[in-house]
Amino acid sequence: MANLGAGEILYGLRKKIQEIQTSLNLLGDPITDMPELIDSSNLLRSNEYLSKTNEKKSELLAAYEQYSSSLEELLLAVFDIQKDLKDILKEQSSLIANSSKISRPKTKSKKK
């Protein structure tokens, strides 16, 4: 991921999040108990569903953690750029102010 741009990283993470959400949605709702099955069979089926959804939700949380970390890094970079731009503007304003003082022609007072 080090060679990818920030936008590509965020796009990839967002795509991964969407894929996990889709696979989680495909699992659907828990299977309801079937009266013809014994209680232990119903418990096993319910446990299998809960295991699958728990796994997907864990993947989803991990992907969101990566995504938010990448966004934080990107935001810090934006703030650093903003600070640098403010410093450049202050420096340029100072240079403009100094150059306008230097370039003003001095007027001589006329004595009569």
pLDDT band at residue 77, thresholds of 50, 70 and 90?
very high
Residue with tokens 């894929």, as numbered in its chain: 19
Supply the angle between the helices 6-26 and 39-103 in degrees, to the nearest 10.
160
- Domain chopping of the chain, boundaries: 7-71
Q: What is the pTM of this model?
A: 0.53
Task: Give yes or no for residue 15 having a pLDDT over 80.
Answer: yes
